[in-house]
Structures are given as C-alpha cells and as structure tokens.
Amino acid sequence: MKLKEKLSAMKQESIATKPPELIGPLLQETENLVKSGIADKALKAGDALPEFILPDVQGNMVSSKVLLEKGPLAISFYRGVW
C-alpha cells in the first residue's frame, strides 16, 4: 500500500470514530487552509530551513545556528496534549 493510500485509510478511520458535529468543522477548516494557498508558501523537500530560536523540552531557548555548528540537526515537532 502506498503512503497516500495509507494516509487516506487513516483519515477515514479517524472520521469514522469522531462525532459528526466535530468532523464537519474539521473538514471545513482543512478545505479553507487548502484554498488559502498556505501550502504553496511552505518549505519543500531540499529547501534550506531559515535560522530559528525555539525552546527545548526544558524551556531553554536553543538556536539552530548553534546546533548546526555541532553537526547535523534533526527537528521533531510535538503538538502537545490535545
């Protein structure tokens, strides 16, 4: 199964397990984001990531520039508990 097919199956499973009153607004907002063209402004594979400063898991501010001076950098985004 290809990634796109897996993601579609996951989406359908998620929709099937949520109350209908939640699904409508979620799907509408997804459509609004697509129509807004925001994805066209997103970085693409191979693009250079701009320098940034973000908090680490302990809340300390960390610079991508400083980290890259030490070697390759991997970034993981955690959306929180919700």
Integer CA distances (angstroms), 46 to 5, 41, 42, 75, in order: 24, 14, 12, 15
Q: How far apart are CA 33 and CA 36, in angstroms?
A: 5
Question: How is the chain split into domains, by residue range?
Answer: 3-41
> pLDDT truncated to tens, each residue of the chain (82 aa)?
788 899 899 989 988 998 889 899 988 998 999 899 998 888 888 888 899 999 888 999 999 999 999 999 888 777 666 5
Contact criterion met (CB below 8 Å) for 15 and 25: no
CA distance 71 to 41: 28
